[in-house]
A and B are shown apart, each in its own frame.
Chain A
Amino acid sequence: MIMLKVESVTKRFGGLVALRNVSMSVNKNEIFGIIGPNGSGKTTLFNVISGVLRPDEGKVIFEDKDITHMRPSDRVKLGIARTFQTIRVFPYMPVYWNVMVTASSVYSDSRIAKARVSWALIITGLLGEAGELAGKLTPYKLKMLEFARCLVANPKLIMLDEPFAGLSPEEIERLISIILKLRENGLTFIIIEHKLKYLMRIADRIMALSLGEKVAEGKPDEVARHPKVIEAYIGVT
């Protein structure tokens, strides 16, 4: 079953074309990877899917619903969650409230919201820091906080933007096991990553972007060997 469909999306910034005619579809329960050199449009694509940006052309369809012009907060309520490349949290609010802000926006019953927050904090191991100001957390815990914010709303699709950046190998392994466990429980993932070694292990399919265009899509090892992909990476180094 197709969870998300991106149809011929083009996005321009002034004279720059950040995304050109990009199409992709993600199946339910899939781990879909997106790779590409810096500036290839990966985060822009995330922004279009999550609603931070509107495409100049094309459509975004989530579970058969056209969400192209829906505001981000409504997409969250539909079940789309995302993290940011530069970890973003609300630095001057306690960890508890960082997650509660999302929960109370999605659940009208505050008891459910509180229960969901407790659950999210437990899974991500942040229960002990619930009262700490988010700005004081370590990078790994910050990522966990972003994760908790995503999870608390009971998402169907989670989009992670370079989740492994800045983490030690052990931390990456921990994160991977969490992702895989969540996938077992029915979640779908789209992951942008540079650390190809780890992405290859967990992704079902990968799409490669270069200069705003899709240059390859398919199983991880196919894409890794694709001449255009190699060219895109080597060409830019």
Chain B
Amino acid sequence: MEFTLIKFIFIFGVLHSFIYLSFALGFSLVFGVAKIPYLSYAGLYTLSAYLMHLLLTKAGIPTIISAISSIGAIGGLSIVIGDYIVKPSMKNPLSIFISTMTVSYIVEEVFRIKMGLTPVALPALRGVITIAGVPVAQQWIAVLIIGAVSSFLVLIYLSKTATGKSIRAVAESWYESMIIGINPYKVFRVTMLIAGLLAGVASISLSPLKAVVPSMGWSPLFVSFAIVILGGMGSIKGTVVASFIYGFVEQFVTWKYGGAFASIVPLALIVLVLIFRPTGLFGEKE
């Protein structure tokens, strides 16, 4: 394999891995605390990008403020979804599946009707810089920084703060954390908030580089799911490691074989893990 190809794969691998990590962490936390795959994540991701677009273009609000409002709104919406859709049907996993999934479909359909299928553009940092001879849009640097910083913040939050530790406790066992005095419902809401914020952040930083279309949210959702399965359910360390493995594998396939094959990567990865090592790299036996 030629050196240029390796450079591309490495650089874009790093760029993608951090933002994937931040996004996958949100998904992983909800999975750990609520024991369900957060299928509404796709809708939140899509909504965040369109919301920012609307705030920018229809309401003329400056970029930074649009971005922050959008992220905040998605965080809040995530809590609402948690309270009104996830919590009521928690005993029935199938219901949660369908209801959370439907939310994402409703978002997709609403924007398909209102905005059509033509991609919408979000403002990006202009300019291209070169890293080791590889041209990289400046927006990617923003993505890298945002991805790394949010991931870092979440990881610190989980290990150092009281609420963060209670999130991990509830993910282990609702029952036992109640015994030691943690309110799992409060923890649940915080987790939903974090997940929503992370979705918003990832969406707004990545969307300027990729197309904003109504179906944009599914790909990140499946990427997170692949990462969480690869890393092992319930393992934060697993999510971290798997994000990088995933990022590099995906970029390898993209640059060597093209985009069509890259879309198979999440599926192939999940299938391989389920067949050969269902618990993932670091997952607990379940």
Whether A and B touch directly in their complex, counting CB atoms under 8 A apart, is answered as: yes
A residues with a Cβ closer than 8 A to B are 13-14
Give the 3 A-B residue pairs with the shortest CB-CB distance, closest first. Answer: A14-B284, A14-B285, A13-B285
Query: SS class of chain B's interface: helix, strand, loop or mixed?
Result: loop
A52 to chain B, nearest CB (A): 14
B172 to chain A, nearest CB (A): 12
Contact sample, A vs B, 3 pairs, CB 8 Å cutoff: A13-B285, A14-B284, A14-B285
Contacts of B284 in A (CB 8 A): 14
Give the docked Cα–Cα distance between A13 and B285 (Å): 8
B residues with a Cβ closer than 8 A to A are 284-285
Contacts of A13 in B (CB 8 A): 285
Contacts of B285 in A (CB 8 A): 13-14
Give the docked Cα–Cα distance between A194 and B165 (Å): 38
Give the docked Cα–Cα distance between A227 and B77 (Å): 62
Contacts of A14 in B (CB 8 A): 284-285
Give the docked Cα–Cα distance between A14 and B284 (Å): 8
A13 to chain B, nearest CB (A): 7
Give the docked Cα–Cα distance between A13 and B284 (Å): 10
Nearest opposing residue in chain B for A12, CB measure: B285
A54 to chain B, nearest CB (A): 12
Give the docked Cα–Cα distance between A14 and B282 (Å): 12
B192 to chain A, nearest CB (A): 29
Give the docked Cα–Cα distance between A13 and B286 (Å): 10
Nearest opposing residue in chain A for B284, CB measure: A14
Give the docked Cα–Cα distance between A14 and B286 (Å): 11
B221 to chain A, nearest CB (A): 30
A154 to chain B, nearest CB (A): 35
B105 to chain A, nearest CB (A): 29
